[in-house]
């Protein structure tokens, strides 16, 4: 019997980098929330001890480089499963966009295999396994709204944001997270105020939330890709609030309270940018 798992995208309400680690990664503090832009994943067991990935995408490989493949492989090895699985990924989340598309697919595979093979493994264990696949996978295992610390593997749940709309605009480029992290000058970062942002979430204060979104990677990506700055300017011109680049980019989002205003900004951005989405925060 086939099983379906939804894999929602995330946006970074904040992304702070605290220090560089000896393992080449950085200690971060990222406040993330899920949005209702999602890949859909169908899974079923197969007799032979193999992992088959099927997806229609020009940009994502369907072999062992795919994070969903890595997740299934890690899961099978960790729990000694000798069965195989077919995984069909219907992609809606843009790739290399800063929206956690690959990570959320991997997380959905971990949750899905847990159900498919009735193993009842706690989410904490799936998140720990997810950390071996990618830094954003542990957050994606839980979803909702949380702060991720350490390399991304320490997850603390947070209150969900006040109800609002999100306009996402992605220029026609893909950004390598590794490249952006390589360029960080740790002494020159202007850090977002995560405490104020957490307080805003706690009190469902939309304006305080918008005033405190922040991403230390934004300036680095903007320098390399000026089209990201142009999207930010265009959104600001249209009166958008809470405008920020997500992850290492290049997707820029705006948080908007009223649906009519969100629709207007969405329409304005559509003429300007390749890929534009109007979605809600799932929180």
Which whole-number Å values give the CA distances from 221 to 50, 89, 224, in the listed order? 39, 29, 5
For residue 42, what are the CA distances in angstroms to 1, 84, 125, 253?
10, 14, 22, 29
**DSSP reduced 3-state for 26:** strand
Of the pair 47, 178, the CB lying nearest ligand C5P is at 178
Beta carbon of residue 142, minimum distance to ligand C5P (angstroms, whole number): 17
DSSP state of 281: B
Does 101 belong to an annotated binding site? yes
11: which strand partners?
33
Nearest-CB residue for ligand C5P? 135
The least CB distance from residue 48 to ligand C5P, in Å, is 29
Is 96 labelled a binding residue? Answer: yes
Q: Alpha helix locations (H) across 155-247?
A: 177-182, 194-202, 206-212, 218-224, 226-237
CB-nearer residue toward ligand C5P: 26 or 232: 26
CB nearer ligand C5P, residue 27 or residue 229:
27
| 243 vs 245: CA distance, rounded Å | 7
The CB-of-151 to ligand C5P minimum distance in angstroms stands at 4
Q: List, by residue number, the catalytic residues.
A: 10, 136
List residues near ligand C5P by CB under 6 A. 25-26, 28, 134-136, 151-152, 177-178, 181
Residue 94 in marked binding region: yes
Terminal C-alpha separation, the chain: 30
Q: CB 148 → ligand C5P: shortest distance, Å?
A: 9
Annotated binding site: 94-104
Annotated binding site for ATP: 94-104
């Amino acid at each position: 019997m086939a099983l379906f798992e939804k894999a929602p995208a995330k946006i970074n309400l904040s992304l702070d980098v605290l220090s560089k680690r000896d393992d080449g990664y950085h200690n971060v503090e990222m406040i993330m929330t899920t949005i209702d832009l999602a890949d859909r994943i169908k899974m079923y067991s197969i007799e032979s001890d193999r992992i088959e990935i099927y997806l229609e995408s020009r940009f994502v490989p369907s072999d062992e480089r795919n994070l969903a493949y890595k997740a299934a492989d890690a899961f099978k090895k960790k729990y000694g499963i000798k069965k195989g699985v077919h995984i069909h990924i219907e992609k809606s989340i843009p790739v290399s966009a800063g929206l956690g598309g690959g990570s959320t697919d991997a997380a959905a595979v971990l949750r899905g295999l847990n159900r498919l093979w009735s193993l009842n493994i706690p989410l904490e264990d799936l998140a720990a396994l997810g950390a071996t696949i990618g830094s954003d996978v542990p957050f994606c295992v839980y979803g909702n709204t949380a702060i991720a610390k350490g390399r991304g593997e320490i997850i603390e749940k947070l209150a969900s944001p006040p109800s609002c709309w999100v306009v996402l605009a992605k220029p026609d480029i893909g950004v390598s997270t590794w490249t952006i992290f390589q360029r960080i000058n740790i002494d020159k970062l202007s850090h977002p105020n995560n405490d104020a942002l957490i307080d805003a979430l706690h009190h469902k204060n939309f304006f305080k939330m918008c005033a405190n979104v922040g991403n230390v990677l934004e300036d680095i990506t903007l320098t390399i890709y000026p089209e990201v700055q142009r999207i930010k300017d265009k959104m600001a011109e249209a009166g958008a609030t809470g405008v920020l680049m997500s992850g290492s980019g290049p997707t820029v989002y705006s948080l908007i309270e009223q649906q009519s205003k969100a629709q207007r900004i969405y329409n304005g951005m559509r003429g300007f940018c390749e890929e534009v989405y109007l979605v809600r925060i799932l929180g």
